[in-house]
A = this chain, B = another copy of it.
Amino acid sequence: MAAAMINERDLDFMLYELFKSEQLLKRARYQDHDRMTFNEVISTAKVIAEKHFLPIRQKLDTDQPTFDGEKVHLIPELKPAIDAVNGSGIGAATADYELGGMQLPPIIASAAGTYLSIAGGVGMGYNMLTTANANLLEAHGTKELIDKWVKPMREGRFMGTMAMTEPGSGSGLGDLNTKAIKQADGTYRISGNKIFISGGDHDLSDNIVHLVLARLQGAPKGVKGISLFVVPKFLVNDDGSIGADNEVALAGLFHKMGGRAQTSTALSFGEKEGSIGYLVGAENQGLKYMFHMMNEARIMVGTSGAVLALAGYHYSLDYAKNRPQGRLPSCKDPLSPMVNIIEHADVRRMLLAQKAYAEGAMALVFYGTQLSDDEKTAPTAEQREYAHTLLDFLTPIIKTWPSEYGPKANSYAIQVMGGHGYINEHPVEMFYRDNRLNPIHEGTTGIQSLDLMTRKVPMNNMKGYLATLSEMEKTIELANQMANLQGFATELTTAVNTLKRTTKAVLTLMSTTNIDLALANSVKYLEMFGHIIIAWLWLKQAMAATEGLARQPHTDDVNFYKGKLQALQYFYRSELPKIALWEQTLTSADSTSYDMQVDWF
Chain A residues within 8 Å of B, Cβ to Cβ:
165, 168-172, 174-175, 195-196, 221-223, 254-258, 264, 317, 321, 324-330, 334-335, 338, 342-349, 351-352, 355, 407, 411, 414-415, 418-419, 421-425, 429, 432-433, 436-437, 439-441, 444-446, 449-450, 454, 514-517, 519-523, 559-560, 562-563, 566, 569-570, 573-574, 577-578, 581, 584-585, 590, 592-601
Cross-chain pairs A/B with CB under 8 angstroms, 10 sampled: A257-B432, A329-B454, A351-B601, A415-B445, A421-B440, A422-B437, A573-B590, A574-B585, A574-B590, A574-B592
Listed from nearest, the 7 A-B pairs whose CB atoms lie closest are A222-B334, A563-B600, A345-B520, A349-B593, A172-B326, A257-B429, A346-B446
Residues of B within 8 A of A517 (CB): 345
Q: Out of B342, B346, B347, B519, which one reaches A522, CB within 8 Å?
A: B346
B257–A596 CB distance below 8 A = no
The distance in angstroms between the C-alpha atoms of A517 and B597, with both chains bound, is 47
Residues of chain B within 8 A of A221, CB atoms compared: 334-335
Q: Check A523 against B346 for contact (C-beta < 8 Å).
A: yes
The number of times this chain is found in the oligomer is: 2
CB of A345 within 8 A of CB of B599, answer: no
Pick the contact of A521 from B264, B349, B600 — CB < 8 Å? B349
Partner of A349, one of B441, B520, B566: B520
A252 to chain B, nearest CB (A): 10
CB distance from A164 to the nearest CB of B (A): 11
Partner of A593, one of B174, B345, B520: B345
Q: Using Cβ atoms and an 8 Å threshold, which residues of chain B touch A516?
A: 328-330, 345
Q: Contacts of A562 on B, CB cut-off 8 Å?
A: 597, 600
**Could you say which residues of chain B place their CB within 8 Å of the CB of A560?**
600
- Contact, CB under 8 Å: A601 / B519: no
Which residue of B432, B573, B581 is within 8 Å of A578 (Cβ)? B581
A561 to B415, CA, bound (A): 37
Q: Which residues of the partner chain B approach A328 to less than 8 Å between Cβ atoms?
A: 516
> How far, in whole Å, are A514 and B434 apart by their CA atoms in the complex?
41
Residues on the B chain within 8 Å of A594, using CB: 345, 348
- Known interface pairs A349-B523, A351-B601, A441-B419; A592-B563 also in contact (CB < 8 Å): no
A592 contacts across to B, CB distance below 8 A: 352, 566, 569-570, 573-574
Minimum distance in angstroms from A599 CB to a CB of chain B: 4
Q: What separation, in Å, do the CA atoms of A222 and B577 have in the docked complex?
A: 42
Q: From residue A225, how far is it (CB to closest CB) to chain B in Å?
A: 9
A252 closest partner in B (C-beta): B425
User: Considering residues A317, A414, A423, which has the most beta carbons from chain B within 10 angstroms of its beta carbon?
Assistant: A423
Asked if A418 contacts B598 (CB within 8 A), the reply is no
Tell me, rounded to whole Å, the shortest Cβ–Cβ distance linking A64 to chain B.
10
Chain B: minimal CB distance from A571 (Å):
10
Measured between C-beta atoms, what is the minimum distance from A563 to chain B in Å? 4
Supplied contacts A328-B516, A345-B520, A566-B596, 14 more A-B pairs, CB within 8 Å: A172-B338, A195-B419, A221-B335, A222-B335, A255-B423, A258-B422, A345-B521, A348-B596, A414-B440, A415-B445, A418-B440, A433-B433, A563-B596, A566-B600
Give every chain B residue within 8 A of A514 (Cβ-Cβ): 330
Asked whether B342 lies within 8 Å of A598 as measured between CB atoms, the reply is yes
A355 to B444, CA, bound (A): 21
Q: Which residue of B lies closest to A353 (CB)?
A: B593
Please tell me if the beta carbons of A325 and B424 are within 8 angstroms of each other in the complex: no
How many whole Å from A450's CB to the nearest CB in chain B? 7
Chain B residues closer than 8 Å to A563, beta-carbon distance = 596, 600-601
Complex Cα spacing A533 to B73, Å: 52
Q: Are B601 and A317 in contact (CB under 8 A)?
A: yes
Closest Cβ of chain B to A419, distance in Å, is 5
Nearest-CB distance from A531 to chain B (Å)? 13
Q: Shortest CB–CB separation between residue A261 and chain B, in angstroms? A: 15
Max chain B Cβ within 10 angstroms of own Cβ: one of A168, A449, A593: A593
Q: Contact: A519 with B329, CB < 8 Å?
A: yes
A411 to B405, CA, bound (A): 13
Known: A329-B519, A335-B222. A346 touches B593 (CB 8 A): yes
Residues from chain B with a CB closer than 8 A to the CB of A334 are 174, 221-223
> Which partner residue on chain B sits nearest A346 by CB separation?
B446
Report the bound CA distance from A171 to B581 in whole Å: 36
Measured CB to CB, the closest approach of chain B to A528, in angstroms, equals 14
Q: Give which listed residue, B168, B325, B329, B519, contacts A171 with CB less than 8 A.
A: B325
- Is B424's CB under 8 angstroms from A440's CB? no
Name the B residues within 8 Å of A343 (CB-CB): 598
A562 to chain B, nearest CB (A): 5
Contact between B432 and A418 (Cβ–Cβ < 8 Å)?
no
Task: For A444, give the chain B residue with the smallest CB separation.
Answer: B418
Select A439's contact among B415, B522, B559, beta carbons within 8 Å: B415
Q: How far is the CB of A317 from chain B (nearest CB, A)?
A: 6
The residue that A600 contacts in the complex, of B196, B258, B519, B559, with Cβ under 8 A, is: B559
Q: How far is the CA of A223 from the CA of B332 in the complex (A)?
A: 12
- Give Cα A172–Cα B597 distance, bound, in whole angstroms: 49
Within 8 Å CB of A593, what residues of B?
345-346, 348-349, 352, 570
Pick from B171, B345, B600, B601: contact of A418, CB under 8 Å = B171
Minimum Cβ distance to chain B for residue A324 (Å): 8
- CB-based contact A419/B170 at 8 Å: yes
- Shortest Cβ gap from A113 to chain B (Å): 23
